[in-house]
Structure 1
Amino acid sequence: MPERTDWEAKASNLLKAELKRKGVTYAQLVENLAEIGVDEKEANIKNKLSRGKFTAAFFLQCLSAIGSQQLHLD
């Protein structure tokens, strides 16, 4: 299995940090995504974030679903 790249790890860590900052669980993220028309299962989200393998579109959908309007890359 290929190793995670630094960029994949950074993307995953940014999204996880934003979820934590907003106090949103994976289960709540599933519900919020459904509200904007994105069908995901909690297990799939956990896998995507642990592997760091997801599209930019998924990243943006998650940020939108939890109401993030700014993202700090530092």
Structure 2
Amino acid sequence: MRRSYTQQVEKPTAVGVVDSEANIRNKLNRGKFTAVFLIQCLRAIGASALHLRD
């Protein structure tokens, strides 16, 4: 199921990400954001592990 940007903004806001819907949309569309933002988003969705592959 595809989520709207409004839904994608709600969860990060709950863990302290203070960005507008437009700002988050731009970050995701560009695919360019900080590691801190990535970690905050992972926390917001309840991820307990991150597996990196070579």
Which of 14, 19, 34 does residue 40 from structure 1 map onto? 19
Structure 1 consecutive aligned stretches of length 4 or more whose deviation exceeds 2 Å: 23-26, 70-74
Mind listing any 5+ residue stretches in structure 1 that lack a counterpart?
A: 1-19
Using the size of structure 1 for normalisation, the TM-score is: 0.55
> Quick one: distance in 1 between partners of 2:48 and 2:9?
19
Q: Which has the higher helix share?
A: 1
Report sequence identity in percent.
55
Structure 2 residues without counterparts, runs of 5 or longer: none
With structure 2 as the length reference, what TM-score do the two structures score? 0.69
In the alignment, is residue 52 of structure 1 matched against residue 31 of structure 2? Answer: yes
The count of corresponding residues between Structure 1 and Structure 2 is: 53
Quick one: distance in 1 between partners of 2:28 and 2:52? 17
